[in-house]
Each structure stands twice: as structure tokens, then as C-alpha cells.
A and B are shown apart, each in its own frame.
Chain A
Amino acid sequence: MGKDKLNNIEDFLTNDSFICYVFEQTSSLKKYWDDYFKCNPEKESLARNARQILLNEDDKPGISSTEKEELKQRILSTVMKVNSYK
């Protein structure tokens, strides 16, 4: 899992296990990450920031509603195409 490589926010943001931990908190994930932070207390603030980003807590609108709608129409039209081939 390469948890020794967790040196910046992006490392946490792209770590599958960490992503699951933020959203699921199953007992094995919780134990794994609790142990990790016990051994690496200096990583806790990085992890906290990464967690906020994953949970979208700063909630800044990164995408405009027009862009959102355009992307949605693009996705829906691809879905229609894929469906009609079947």
C-alpha cells in the first residue's frame, strides 16, 4: 500500500484505502488508519485536510451551473447512444 509514501495531501487524496476510510469507516480500515496515525502523528494534519477535500467541506463551487448542465447533457447523450446500440 506504500503508506510510507504519504508525504503530501495529493498522496492521501489518491490513496484508495484512505478514500474508503473517509467514507466507510469499517472496523478493519479504522484500525489500520488509527495505527498509522499513532505511528505517524505528524501526518494527521495532512490527512485532516485531505479528508475535508474528500467530504467537500469547504464547499466552494468549482464548476459553474452552466458547465454542470453541459457536462450532464453530454453524459446523457452518450448514455442514449450506448443504449441504442444494445
Chain B
Amino acid sequence: MSHTPYSKEIEDSMSEVESTRQKRLKQKLPSLSLNEREALLKMWHPDYKEGMKRPLLLGPNKGDSVPHEVADLIEAYPLIDPKELDLSKIDYDVELLVIGGGGAGAAAALWANYSGVKSEDMLIVTKLRFGDSNTMMAQGGIQAADRQEDTPVFHYLDVFGGGHFTNSPELVRALVEDAPLIMKWHEELGIMYDKKNDGEMIEIHGGGTSKRRMHTCKDYTGLEIMRVLKDEALNKEIPVLEFSSVIELLTNDEGRVNGAALWNLETKEYQIARAKAVVLATGGFGRLHIQGFPTTNHYGATMDGVVMAYRVGAKLRDLDSAQYHPTGVAYPEQIFGLLITEKVRSVGAQLTNKDGQQFIYQLEPRDVVSSAIIKQCYGDRTGVATPTGAIGVWLDIPLIEELRGKGAVQRLLPAMHRQYKRFGIDISQNPVLTFPTLHYQNGGIAINEDAEVLDASGKPIKGLYAAGEIGGGVHGKNRLMGNSLLGINVFGRRAGLSAAKHLKRKDGKTKLSLGHVAKYVEALKEANVPMTRKSPMILPEYRGKEVLSRALPIFPI
């Protein structure tokens, strides 16, 4: 044990982890059966906790239960009175509007461009900077069944089992079938995957995989993918509008989506974009802090796209389930709730309780591992109290050095090593304290395999496509590691191709309206939704309570 910032009690517990390490090195806990997994989830997973959800009062999913935090944004009035906007002045008149500047948005724009949509006929609009997204933060890897020992069929089965057999067969098939061609595309773009000298990909397991198919770029996989896709989009001179948030979609009289109302976060001015096709790639809901959990997500993950699509009539699915990543940082406080990548466990780290005992095979699917950790902390009371009063379990990272040799932690996990080093903790020497953190929106808006957004009757909403975390059905009720980086590419590509095909049909540009929003407002009034509730959220509120209580709106907006 090297120097640590912990109390004697925590150091004693850490010594237990050290003293059992050699024994655990040879000890692999058995995987749970499907029935054992389900029993654990029902007892301990936050999705099953009573009183945390409510049925929606209106819209295509009326009666379906979703977390209160989600319902509060869906059952909410628009930020603007539809009558306030002048839709006759069009600021951006394009063929394709891509909403969201993460991996899915970039992939959609690129593939639309490859299939003939000119750069100048497109616009990517994003409320942060292009690329500042959950894609950028994804560390662990990307799945693709490309080794001879593996097949897309095994991949299909793993995705379904991970998702508790609630996934859409068409979407999972698309995911696993496109995976190899996505990897090939990435190779051509120059993405630096971890390879052996002969060019073969180094592939490892993730939670719930039956074959090694996790491709990695150290533990910066998402960063490497995102920055290359962004670089390529910039090379193609695809226009990007940053720090502008979409506040409402626009439709014509027949309900076809044909544009969006934008809001410049800096000047507070609204602008109108007209488009023949719109791709929603706005990501997920981490910043809603479901059930008060901290999150691994970026600042803008506020579910705006789901809210706006629902007003247009999009059907939602599986939004009753949220993914809590098993290993969020429980200490130090400064990075509380941030991600400790699953790759840490893929390359050998085990979880132990305060007595240094393993309690779950570390590569079960995420919801199962999270439930097991919560059980240790709140059921068996064998967790460790952190210096700041949280409770967690140990993630024995130094075990990786025992398995793979000295220096392996820094070589395979430089981002993790660096993040803890900033707070005086050397993870190659010491285990770390961990507890589940809100990570991923498993469900979302219903789409088909062409990435078209579906309405309540299962028919595509014309002009509207969706890709990435916003879409539901791919991962069912629980996503496996490495399938989100794959999903943004597969469905981003499909959205771009579908939109391009749609554009070739030469539909004329149509009149813009907010008629669907006016209708939604009527339904909100009928359901007696409090007028104070407004959405989309755009950015979460973290300002100090004291300062907010004394703030004066002298410069109203």
C-alpha cells in the first residue's frame, strides 16, 4: 500500500483487499443463471424501487410509467408560446438538419454526405461544442463480431440476454450486422484501435459478452472515435452551429417534420431552420439525476430530443429503465459519480466488500453488477464508508498488475490512472471506492431499422429520423458495454442514409408551423399539468442555493 488519503479504518479494510489478492487471483466466481440475475435485480435494482415512477398523463404513451424526473419534462409546457415565434423569416434553409453534435450526429451527417447530400445543404446544430458529448466520454470500447471465433449471431444473443429479451429484433440485427463495416470504416478514417503488430485487433470481454469482441483505443475509445468523426466532418466543411439549442421541432399541416426553432444560448435570440429531413441525435437523460443519482454524463444530457419528439407524436419505449453503471467514483468527492470504465474489470479488476471478499463475478451485465453492489452496501452492510460519508465497495485495480505485469494499469488505462493521480491516488497500487452512478438512457423514442421515428401506430413520422442514445429498442432494458459506441455509428449511418434517400424524392419545401405544439398545450391543460412546469431543460441547474435565492431578474430574458 502506498500513501493514501484515508482514515485508519478504511486503510484496514484496504489491507484486507490486499491480503486476499493472491487468493482471488485464481478465484473466478461463477456467472449467475438468468433466474438468479432476475431475483437480484428485483430486490436491489433502482428500476424496481417503489414510488419512483408514475404513469404519463397524455400523449402516445399515456398510462406508461416512467421515472418522475422524465415525466416532469414530458408533462411540461413549451418554453415559448407558439404564437411568439415568427416562422416566416427563415434563417437557415437546408436539406438536412442534424440536431446534436455527438457521435450519432456526426456519423449521420457524414453518411448523408457520402450518399450525395452536399455539405452546404446541411446543418449540424448543437448546444455545446461539436463533439462535447457522451461519445467523447465513452472509455471502455466498441463491440463488433469480427473474429473467426465469433459471429454476429453470438453478438445478437448477448445483446438480447443483456437487455432481458425486451429488445427489438430488427434493431439488434441491424446493430450486429453493421458492426464489422463500421470497424472497417473507422480503420479507413485512421482511428487508432489497439492492435497487435500484424494489424489484428486486440479484443477483450465486456460485461455479458460470450466472445471477446471489445475493440479499444486504450481507455479513450470514445474520445478517439469522436475526434476523428469530427475532424472528418470539418474536412467535409459540413456547417456546424454551436451553442444553439433546438427548443421545438416544426411541422407542416400534415405532421411532416420540416424544421426546428433554435435558440442562441449567448445572445438569447431565436432562429428558424427549415429542412426537408431532420435527424435527432440529442443523446440521453443522465443530467436528470434519476432518483438523485450522480451521473457520468456530459453537461447537456437533458433529454431535450425526447421531449420535442413526443410533442410531434413519437412513441416512446423502455424509458422505465435507466442504466446505473456499476462503478462510479465514490471517492474522492471532486469526481464523485464520474465513470470508472468497465474496461478496468474487462482486463481483470475484481469487486470486493470491506472484508476483501468477492461478491459477484465482475463481468456480469451492468444492471446485475450494480444490484450486487447496492446489496452489499445496503442489504448485507458489508460496504465501506468513504471519507465523505458515502458508501461504496472496493474495485481492486492493482490486481491487473498481478495478472498482466507491472505497468499494465498505466498502459491499458491511462485516463483512469491520470484521473485518480490528480487527487493523489495511484490506482496501480491501491484499490478504489466505487458505487453505481446514472449512466445511460436504455430506452427512448421508437425507431425502425432505417432509423425512422415511429408514431403510436408504428408508422414512420415523415421527415424525422433518430440515432444514438435517444432511440429505444436497441438495448432493451439494459445496454451492454461497447454497444453504445457501436449504436451511434450504426444508427447514425442508417439515419444519414435514410434521410439522404428521402431527400432524393424531391419533396418540395413546405410551410412551417408549431401546430403540434399548440395541440400539445391543449392536452396539457386538459390533464391539469401545472403551468410552471416547462421543458426542454437545455442545461441543468447547479448554481448555489443561496445565490439563487437572492438573484434578481433585472435583465429579464
Partners in one complex: no
Identify the A interface with B (CB < 8 A): none
Identify the B interface with A (CB < 8 A): none
